[in-house]
Amino acid sequence: MAPNKHLDRMEFMLTLRRRGITDPAVLRAMEEVPREMFVPDNLKPQAYEDHALPIDCGQTISQPYVVAYMTELLELQTRHRVLEIGTGSGYQAAVISRIAAMVVSIERYRTLAERARKIFDMIGYTNIEVITGDGFEGAPQRAPFDRIIVTAAAETIPDNLVDQLGEDGILVLPLGPRNGPQDIVRLRKTAEGIKREDLIAVRFVPLLPGQAKEL
C-alpha cells in the first residue's frame, strides 16, 4: 500500500475539487488530516476512497466529500468554538479542529469516544474535547457555540442544540427519517430569527436518544 499512498491522496484531493469543494481552508484541512488513522486496520487501503466505511459499534465514518461539504457549510473562522454531535471515528472533528479554535464532540458510545481521544493524542490534536454522553442534550455548560454540526440523522431539529447556538451561529445537520430520505439542512440564527436551507440528499446513521448502554 505504501507506494500508492501518495497517489491515493492526490486522487482524494482531486475528487473533492471535482465535486465542488472550493474553500481553501477546508481543502487544506482535508489534505492535512490522515484519514487512514481513523478507519479500521483492515480497511486502511480504502481510506482515501470517497465513500463511508464501517467503524466499531455498528457506526460509520462519513464519506470524505460529505465531511468536506458539511465543513464548508459551517463557514468556519479561526476563532470559532464548535460543537459536534456524533464523534464516531473522530475524523470530522479532526478536520474541523484544523480550522477552528476548538471542538467539543459528544459520542454516545464510550468505546468510540475513547478510541477517538487516543487517535487525537497520537496525532497531537490538542484542541478537541470528546465527551461520552447524549448529544440531544448538547453541552449546556459550554454553550454558546459559534457553530454546531450533527453527524447522525435527526428526525426533527433538536431544540437544545438551537438554544446552544450563539448569535449569527450556524447549525448543520442531516434531517429526515431513519431509513431516508435525509437532507443536509443549514440553520442560521439571525436577529430576525432562524433561517433554514435544505441542501443535498444524504444517508446517515440515526441520531439515537441517550448514552449507549452497550460500551
**Can you give the C-alpha Rg of the chain in angstroms?**
16
The three cell numbers of residue 150 are: 450533527
Q: Indicate whether 60 belongs to the interface with ligand SAH (CB under 6 A).
A: yes
The three cell numbers of residue 81 are: 468554538
CB closer to ligand SAH, 135 vs 169: 135
Amino acid at 160: N
Q: Indicate whether 108 belongs to the interface with ligand SAH (CB under 6 A).
A: yes
Q: Are strands 145-150 and 165-175 parallel, antiparallel or unpaired?
A: parallel
CB closer to ligand SAH, 7 vs 161: 161
Minimum distance of ligand SAH from residue 8's CB (angstroms): 19
Contact with ligand SAH (CB under 6 A) among 16, 39, 112, 184: 112
Question: Closest-CB residue for ligand SAH?
Answer: 88
Pair 100, 77: CB distance under 8 Å:
yes
Sites for ligand SAH among residues 82-101 (CB under 6 A): 85-86, 88-89, 91-92
Q: Indicate whether 71 belongs to the interface with ligand SAH (CB under 6 A).
A: no
CA distance 183 to 177: 10
Contact with ligand SAH (CB under 6 A) among 135, 169, 174, 176: 135
Stretch that binds ligand SAH, among 121-129, 133-141, 159-167, 186-194 (CB under 6 A): 133-141
Task: Report the first-to-last Cα separation within the chain, whole angstroms.
Answer: 32
Q: Where are the alpha helices (DSSP H) in the chain?
A: 2-18, 24-32, 64-73, 91-97, 110-123, 159-163
Q: Indicate whether 62 belongs to the interface with ligand SAH (CB under 6 A).
A: yes
Amino acid at 204: F
Mention every residue, 6+ apart, whose C-beta is less than 8 A from residue 4. Answer: none
Q: Indicate if 62 belongs to the active site.
A: yes
Q: Which residues are catalytic?
A: 62
Binding residues for ligand SAH, rule: CB under 6 A, are 59-62, 85-86, 88-89, 91-92, 106-109, 112, 134-136, 151-152, 205, 207-208
